[in-house]
Amino acid sequence: MDIDKLFKVPKLPVGSNKRRMPDAPTPEMLKRMKLDSSISEDVLPSRSTLPVQESRRATVQDEDENADTAQGEFAPGGDADYFAEEDEEGRFFGGGLTMEQKEILNIFDSAGGEEAREDLEELSITGVRRLLLRFQRAADKNQDQRSKYSDDPTKFIDSEADLDLAIKMLLPLAQAPVVAYPELVRSGATSRLIGLLSHENADIVIDVVELIHELTDEEVGNEIEEEEAEGSREEALKTLIEGLLENSVMELLVDNLSRLNEAEESDRQGVFHILGIFENLLGFNADLAAHLAHKTNIMAWLLTRIQSKKHDENRGYAAELLSILLQNNRSNRLELGKKDGVETILKVLSQFRRRDPVDADETEFMENVFDALCSALGEPEIKKLFLDSEGVDLMVLIMKDKMQARSRSIKVLDYTLSGSSGTSSCETFVEALGLKYLFSTFMGKQAKRHKDHAAPPASEDTAHALGIVSSLFTNLASESPARIRLLAKFVENNYEKVDKLLEIRDAAQGRLNAVNKDIENEKKALIAEGESIGPEEEDLFYLRRLEGGMFTLQTVDYILAWIVMEDDGIRSHIQAMLNRRNKSLKDIVNTLEIYRDNVDEGDSQPDVAEGSLSQVEILQNLIAFLEAC
């Protein structure tokens, strides 16, 4: 069983924090909401009705002195009509629609009146086909007029506005994926949409991007298809995504990233939605990560984007997507190395050496960049690049300065020092005085308090500190100056660090005892019900034990075994402390035997150097020595 992989892989960003665009209106909303047709002339964004040359022009309007009351952010649910609708007695009701949803409905009124609204309310196959037909006619007309009057934008401006309308009218199809998505692909509308990603007007491109983002959301159809089986929606989404991929959607989207100018608000939103599409696609099929990284220029764009001096939402999204691309994907990690990604990431992280992130968003950005680096360090080739770029020295300096990034630097060092490919980094770590700052954390001397953000729990820092010490004992050559300096740390101050190890061991053992009790009760219940407990169930129970304290216990006992073997004074002190707890070295042997029996040599250390002992051999030698004591 590969324990390292289980406990040394950064987690993916939490799904509940996924960046989302507002929901399109549902048929229920339409049935209970009648909009004032008089405002339908004002709903179109100006960028959609202007010629290409003028679509970026900024305007200044007088501020409505009643705007704060009419559009206050405190309206429940962002209801656009909360302060506008009232009955005869003056009581407010509200329509339940946000301003964006209201604009979409007004688009239907202006585009097709009751007929268009009926198509949306029904969302039947007939209604879907009508919407798609309107879209295709609008696209054909715009293409025809643009080719005829390419030098005179006034001749095709109306068709551009119609196309903008037709694209927005497709947004509610996300409410009925089972009906709409197969028809989208069958009718050829999917390929037509992808073709519009090369449209001369960037505003049309942004419309298409927003539509694809909405259609590919993992929760499409949840609002009105509760009776539908989950598999039906997933199958419909799979059909759509396959149709998009067949038309090279990823390549065209990446091309548009460099085309859009984020200084413009509409373009900035377009970039946001493009990154959201990639997250949707990778969430549906993680195997697409390799295609995205190798068939497009996304990696280079992401590395450039995270270097921006000014932090904004898209910079944070770029870091998150980079972390996702590197998760459990060796080829993508190596691609990062080829593009000098390690050097770039270290430059970005160096800014947090002497300052903390200014807010929660920048904190999330920093954590995603650290996680991306940790993922990449799973490869020996990346560890070498990290060492050559003086990454170990930088992480030690970050530890020294005790800012918010301190805990993340310890985590990075835990990754880079592990395995035999981390041997050179172990030596560099000791030479850079890393032991001093590491044991400061290990003994519980916490980083500075931060005004707005709590530091990570001490247990997480301690776990990674234990991992570093474990790697140092594994990789540092016997009798080398670096190893002697490491061992001396456990002797100084009357063995205080040994006592700390034993305290951590007691706490881990207590947690493990509680988990073992629960597991035994579950086993008895299963046997009483006539259920058999096979290898798969035992593996699951073992994983629960690891999470419940066994992993920490194994790491601590591994370190204790090393220092017992290498120093007589430490051995006597440990034996005396264990006797006070009614324990002995035999208890450490029992832990190491379980550790040895569950190590999968084929996967746990793929980078074992020639002539080096495997983890199983090291454990066996430690067990033999302790048994002889």
For the chain, domain boundaries: 17-51+72-225, 492-628
pLDDT at 104 over 70: no
pLDDT digits (tens, 9 = 90+) for 299-339: 999 999 999 989 999 999 999 999 999 998 999 999 999 99
What percent of the chain shows pLDDT beyond 70?
Answer: 75
pLDDT digits (tens, 9 = 90+) for 391-434: 999 999 999 988 999 999 999 999 999 999 999 999 999 999 99
Q: CA 309 to CA 20: how far, in whole Å?
A: 25
pLDDT at 352 over 70: yes
DSSP letters for 277-293:
HHHHHHHH-TTHHHHHH
C-beta neighbour count of 317 within 10 angstroms: 23
Give the model's pLDDT for residue 45.
41
Do the Cβ atoms of 275 and 324 come closer than 8 Å? no
Sign of the CA dihedral running 246, 252, 257, 263: negative
Residue whose pair of structure tokens reads 């776990």 in the numeric block: 463
Give the model's pLDDT for residue 102.
57
Q: Which parts of 62-201 fold into alpha helices (H)? A: 67-70, 99-122, 125-148, 157-168, 177-186, 189-195
3-state secondary structure 346-409: HHHHHCCCCCCCCCHHHHHHHHHHHHHHHHHCCCHHHHHHHHHCCHHHHHHHHHHHCCCCHHHH
Give the model's pLDDT for residue 15.
40
Q: Which residue has the higher pLDDT, 227 or 182?
A: 182
Do the Cβ atoms of 235 and 221 come closer than 8 Å? no
Tokens of 517: 């009790």
Q: CA 169 to CA 142: how far, in whole Å?
A: 16
**Cβ-count burial of 304 within 10 angstroms (0-12 exposed, 13-18 middle, 19+ buried)?**
middle
Tokens of 23: 């929901």
Give the model's pLDDT for residue 436.
93
Q: CA 441 to CA 447: how far, in whole Å?
A: 8
Q: How far apart are the first and last CA of the chain?
A: 30
Q: CA 615 to CA 608: how far, in whole Å?
A: 9
Tokens of 343: 């050097």
Q: CA 447 to CA 440: how far, in whole Å?
A: 10
